[in-house]
Amino acid sequence: MRRERWNDLILILFLVIGLGVFAFTGIALLESFWYTPVASAEKKEHVASPLTKLDLLERGKLVFQSAGCTSCHLARLEPGGPVVGFPVGPSLSNAGMRRDEKWLREHYIDPHKLVPGSKMNSFAYLPSDELDALVAYVKTFTPRYEPAEEPTIVIPQRFTAEQVERGKALFTSQGCLGCHTIGKSGGPIGPNLTKAGTHGRTDEWQIQHLKDPLSVYVLGPTDGIPWPMPRYNNLSDEDLQALVAYVQSLR
């Protein structure tokens, strides 16, 4: 008789606990349906960059400036604007023609994976949406950013007018125009050279770059560049000097 009562009590206790657990999980489950969208929207607001509300390209431009890209790169920040920055890495003029979105994003995150020996640092610390904005912004670096006016020729004293004339002829005969635009003619693969004399590159750099373009930016081999500039190490010293004279006179 006593034992049966105990059994009943234990049964009731289990029922009560079971009901409690059921009700609790039920409410939690319902709550999760009701409140989750609001809660996660609030959470997102906190995690995302404060720049989220700006237009994608405006945001990309701000990230480009604040991340210090111009401490190593020459670029025009807006169509037709002046070239700003320092000539450590390649000019980003027309970089939007040379690189696709996937490459750009991976390169910001891990430059060394795509370009072994690259001196570019990783930007993996940037929030994902800022990386997206940066990719979109650099993709706009195309001929529409470049000036359409013809260059002014200002010959530095160390060069002669004959050298510049010879350089100009070589620029066409050697196929430089196929990739580079000067004024209104040329191709969009390499940087626009209309004002190349203002880029701050030294004559020695220009010679080294003409002989072996990849040697000035990367130490190791690279397989990431779809249209690398060819080596012009077959040209005579006079021809190389003439090309440099022409390029450095473009203002």
What are 75's strand-pairing partners? 84
Binding site for ligand HEC (CB under 6 A): 64, 67-69, 71-74, 87-92, 95, 98-99, 104, 108, 111, 115, 118-121, 123, 134, 138, 171, 174-176, 178-180, 189-191, 193, 196, 199, 201, 206, 213, 217-218, 227, 229-230, 232, 243, 247
Q: At its nearest, how many Å lie between ligand HEC and the CB of residue 185? A: 14
Angle between helical axes of 56-66 and 128-139 (0-180°, round to 10): 100
- H/E stretch holding 168 reads helix 161-173
- Residue with smaller CB distance to ligand HEC, 32 or 71: 71
- Smallest distance, ligand HEC to C-beta of residue 33, A: 42
- 52 or 174: CB nearest ligand HEC: 174
Instruction: Specify whether the CB–CB gap between 134 and 63 falls below 8 A.
Output: yes
Helix and strand element counts for the chain (H, E):
10, 4
In terms of Cα–Cα distance, which of 118, 115, 120 is closest to 224?
115
Q: Give the residue with the Cβ less far from ligand HEC, 52 or 198.
A: 198
Distance, CA of 64 to CA of 135 (rounded, Å): 10
Q: Which is nearer to ligand HEC, 76 or 180 (CB)?
A: 180
CB of 48 to ligand HEC, least distance (A): 19
